[in-house]
Amino acid sequence: MAHPSQLGFQDAASPVMEELLHFHDHALMIVFLISTLVLYIIVAMVSTKLTNKYILDSQEIEIIWTVLPAIILILIALPSLRILYLMDEINSPLLTIKAVGHQWYWSYEYTDYEDLGFDAYMIPTQDLNPGQFRLLEADHRMVIPVESPIRVLVSADDVLHSWAVPALGIKMDAVPGRLNQTAFIASRPGIFYGQCSEICGANHSFMPIVVEAVPLEHFENWSSRMLEDA
């Protein structure tokens, strides 16, 4: 859960998000070192009146400032490509959930069950209980078992939406007439919040996503209750 004045990302709740955090720190350190070097060169050029005749025309320096940026780009590109392929891996999901975006709510269908599905609307501010978050709480949560591979099929019924949960490292566009898929593993129990991340109309800001990760036994009890109510 993000908090006011937060500078970094939310705490990772999935292995992919942990990899993304490590890559962010890796790339940020490279950017910091480059910025420091450029600032030092600018200060040195402005503050000194000395001139080195060997720098004015030097083949060696030209080779260095050509090869060094190429090496830096490789150091950034290789881990980035690795994470991109990791995010596309979907290996034997334990559970498949279809998330469909509407104006302006989400509907969820647990496709491994016959009649398990529901709509998730934002809880109005006046109906919130103490401790609940404004604009982030939904009347139904997407409940999943913890430490289990989950596949999410994302689509839309009307306009473009985007199903995004930052703590899980998930952001997938919901396109009408198209079925996109993504996968994740919740590495710890908890409640993780997200929102539609594609401008979809007047109430774009009012269609939150709430994912609740629980132990497998609790998930089975929840699914049994939902099926009985249905």
6 in any annotated domain: no
CATH of the domain at 24: 1.10.287.90
Examine residue 65 and say whether the peptide bond preceding it is cis (omega within 30 degrees of 0).
no
pLDDT at 220: 93
**pLDDT tens for residues 184-225?**
999 999 999 999 999 988 989 999 999 999 999 999 999 999
Domain limit, last residue, from 59, 86, 113: 86
What is d(CA 131, CA 2) in angstroms, rounded to the nearest whole number? 15
Would residue 8 count as lying in a domain? no
User: Across residues 99-108, what is the average pLDDT?
Assistant: 94
Which string of b and e fits 26-38 if b means at least 16 CB within 10 Å? eeeeeeeeeeeee
Binning pLDDT at 50, 70 and 90, where does residue 1 land? Answer: confident
Q: Beta strands 95-102 and 149-156: pairing type?
A: parallel
127 shares its domain with 67:
no
Count CA atoms closer than 13 A to 69's CA, side-chain side: 7
Q: What is the DSSP string of 134-199?
A: TTT-BSS-EEEETTSEEEEEEEESSS-EEEEEGGGTEEEEE-BT--EEEEEE--S-EEEEEEE-S-
Helix (H, G, I), strand (E, B) or coil at 80: helix
- Whether residue 113 sits in one domain with residue 57: no
Instruction: Tell me if 39 is assigned to some domain.
Output: yes
Q: What is the pLDDT of residue 83?
A: 94
Whole-Å CA distances, 127 to 118, 137, 195: 20, 10, 19
The per-residue pLDDT for range 131-147, each reduced to its tens digit, is 899 999 999 999 999 99
Same domain for 126 and 40 = no
**Exposure string over 199-216, b if 16+ CB within 10 A, otherwise e:** ebeeebeebbbbbbbbee
Select from 71, 86, 101 the last residue of a domain: 86
Residue 119 binned pLDDT confidence (cut-offs 50, 70, 90): very high
User: What is the reported pLDDT for 30?
Assistant: 95
Domain with 48 in it = 13-86
Rounded distance between C-alpha atoms, residue 144 and residue 151, angstroms: 11
Query: Are 72 and 165 found together in one domain?
Result: no
Helices 15-47 and 59-88, axial angle in degrees (round to 10): 160
Q: Give the per-residue pLDDT at 45.
A: 84
Mean pLDDT of 90-113: 93
What pLDDT, in 10s, does the model give residues 142-179? 999 999 999 999 999 999 999 999 999 999 999 999 99
- Residues 98 and 168 reside in one and the same domain: yes
Q: Count the domains in the chain.
A: 2
Q: Tell me whether residue 99 is in a domain.
A: yes
> CATH code at 198?
2.60.40.420
pLDDT at 60: 82
Confidence of residue 23 (pLDDT cuts 50, 70, 90): very high
Question: Considering the entire predicted model, what is its pTM?
Answer: 0.85
Same-domain pairing of 28 and 51: yes
Do 37 and 58 lie in a common domain?
yes
Check whether residue 149 and residue 42 sit in a common domain.
no
**pLDDT number for residue 115:** 85
Residue 5 in this model has a pLDDT that exceeds 90: no
